[in-house]
Structure 1
Amino acid sequence: MPFLLIDFPVFNPVAVSLGPVVIRWYALAYIVGIVLGWVYARSLLKKERLWAGPAPITLVQLDDFILWVTIGIIVGGRTGYVLFYNLPFFAEHPREILELWKGGMSFHGGFLGCVVAVILFARRNNVSILSLGDITTAVAPIGLLLGRLANFINSELWGRHADPSLPWAMIFPNGGPLPRHPSQLYEAGLEGILLFTVLAIMIRMGALRRPGLILGCFITFYGIARIIGEHFREPDPQLGFLWGGLTMGMLLSVPMLVVGAIIIAATMRREARQPAPDET
């Protein structure tokens, strides 16, 4: 039933153009994601009932942390892409490592960059590493959602071949003549909307009173969501399928399941922070 196929709506790759200043959709997703995440994080820190008392991180400390985590995302994301996805190419063309405008970022690398930023900032400012990790991962799905939407707009990281009868199968302009899954939208739904909703519900139920619980759940749930999404996503052409039909995204997500489960188990063994009597 070919008449059901959807032609990909071609977007201008440039989101904002002001004279010589050009901002592409992917860069705009990073900017808006960080700003919205900062606003949401501030709102969580202001609600003492979520923490059973004053939040362990001040608003001023959060404002200072934004620069740290932004650097962690960019440096970690680019380093992860270079090492995990295209090392032979960048070994021959090292100058292109700094050409971020050409694309090429890895979530897993960006996440590790965030981990480093959280640890260094927390130690320098004498705040809880786990609580800072909680607030960081609580807002992370916002950036993931916008990033996947930017992937879709850029017609990149499209999905595997789909049955032509699938009503939402798409023909991407640079993906060949066969219909494909719009896997960027699948991942936006799983890693962005669904993950944000689950973590928000957990926060309302008091998860922030157990430092590390949101962090552990984010790591675990993201790993699950990414592995599911990889079943529909076309592997990077320079890598293809790896052992047993696995993809690099799947392999990098498996350790997240293990680490996330360990953090959750360790967190649940500790007593949750209780509100003072006059706060009940």
Structure 2
Amino acid sequence: MNALIPFPDISPEIFSVSLFGIEFALRWYALAYIVGILLGWRLVVLAARTPRLWRDETPVMRPQQIEDLLTWVIVGVILGGRLGYAFFYQPEYYLSNPGQILRVWEGGMSFHGGALGVILAGLVYALRHGIAKVSMGDLVVLGVPPGLLLGRIANFINAELWGRPTDLPWGVAFPTEAAQYCPDVTGICARHPSQLYEALLEGVVLGAVLIWLAWRRGAFKTPGLLLGVFLGGYGIARFAVEFVRQPDAQFVSAGNPLGLAWHIGGYGLTMGQILCLPMIALGAFFVLRARARARARTQA
């Protein structure tokens, strides 16, 4: 048997209490959302309270505005994430069962849908309050990586969104019946801990790059740079991890064992990779435009 890492004995529930015959539980996933949003909010407020980071030492938003925006962001994340999961990954089921769409407590969220929800909420807020949209985007994306880091760790604790089977020594034996269904593997099936790969790339690496650009390279003085780096960086990281991430079951079939959402002759892209391509393109657009405008200001 190949070397592997046993799945740690961690319950998805931190604690539970019973009140009036109803069981209430605090789960790691919910705590990850709460703490991730709080950490991101404090990081964004810190940037807004540091005038030297901004052109003419004038932050694009005041701390009170950031606090107001937070409510919009939370709604955008939840509604966008749920609608994205329903219509990107299981449209036939949810169109046939529309009453199931908003049952978020049953699981199923899409990062790409959540991102679209936040973008829409941010645009509406910026238009209502006369805030520069791109500069606000730079500020908002600075606070996203902590949530990505904690959310992916919670995915790991929940033993969900695991990767494809692997014989690498850091492969993890996830305990669920679905994770252990590996027709080509004899004995215990180890899989890529793709949740941790994403936590490292999207949370730690991308977050560190954004902080470095903001505090050490004056990125807020070049509107669109941080926004572009985040979009492109997340898209590239997720696109790469998709090669070892197990796709959603509805995409897998006897004729399509890799679960590709689009393919020709067995070669193609997963749904996650397809959704990342516009992010990468948009990220490149914002970075190139920001750099071009910075050069134009220097030459003026």
What TM-score bracket applies, with the shorter chain setting the length? over 0.9
- 2:191 maps to 180
For structure 1, which runs of at least 5 residues remain unmatched after alignment? 275-280
Partner of residue 10, structure 2: 11
Instruction: Confirm or deny that 1:230 pairs with 2:229.
Output: no
- Partner in structure 2 of residue 277 of structure 1: none
Q: Tell me which amino acid in the other structure corresponds to 1:69.
A: V
Counterpart amino acid of 2:242?
E
Q: Deviations over 1:29-66 (max 9, x none)?
A: 11111111111111111111111302110111001000
Pairwise CA RMSD of aligned residues? 1.6
Distance 2:260 2:190 in 1: 20
2:290 pairs with one of 249, 264, 267: 267
Question: Which consecutive residues of structure 2, in runs of 5 or more, have no partner in the other structure?
Answer: 181-187, 252-258
The CA deviation string for residues 200-224 of structure 1, in whole angstroms up to 9 with x for no partner, is: 1111210011111100110011110
TM-score, normalisation: structure 1: 0.93
List per-residue Cα deviations over 1:89-121 (Å, max 9, x = no partner).
Answer: 222322221211111000000001111011100
- 3-state SS, counterpart of residue 234 of structure 1: coil
Moved more, 96-105 or 15-24: 15-24
* Rounded Cα–Cα distance in structure 1 between residues aligned with 2:91 and 2:69: 30
Q: Aligned equivalents of 1:69 and 1:186: distance in 2?
A: 26
Q: CA deviation at 1:257?
A: 1.1
Q: Which residue of 210, 221, 229 maps to 1:199? A: 210
Higher helix proportion: 1
- Tell me which amino acid in the other structure corresponds to 2:190: P
The corresponding residue for 1:45 is 48
Q: TM-score, normalised by structure 2?
A: 0.87
| Superposed CA offset, 1:248-280 (max 9, x none) | 0000001111111111111112238x9xxxxxx
1:13-162 to 2 correspondences below 5 Å:
13-20=12-19, 21-52=24-55, 53-162=57-166
Structure with larger RCO (C-alpha < 8 A, sep 6+): 1
SS in 2 for 1:252: helix
Could you tell me which of 246, 251, 262 is aligned with 2:274?
A: 251
SS in 1 for 2:25: strand
Find the aligned partners of 1:23 and 1:126 in 2 and give their Cα distance. Answer: 39
- In the TM superposition, residue 150 of structure 1 has moved relative to its aligned partner by 0.7
Identity of aligned residues (%): 46
Shift of the alpha carbon at 1:19? 4.1
- Structure 1 residues 18 and 125: alpha-carbon distance in aligned structure 2, compared to 1, 3 A threshold: farther
Establish whether residue 218 from structure 1 lines up as the match of residue 221 from structure 2. Answer: no
Amino acid at match of 1:7: P
Q: Quick one: distance in 2 between partners of 1:116 and 1:203?
A: 24
Q: Give the aligned residue type for 1:168.
A: W
CA distance in 1, matches of 2:208, 2:80: 26
C-alpha distance 16-132 of structure 1, shift in aligned 2 (>3 A): farther
Runs of 4+ in structure 1 deviating by more than 3 angstroms, as ranges, are 18-21
From the superposition, tell whether residues 208 and 18 of structure 1 become closer, same or farther in structure 2 (CA, over 3 Å): farther
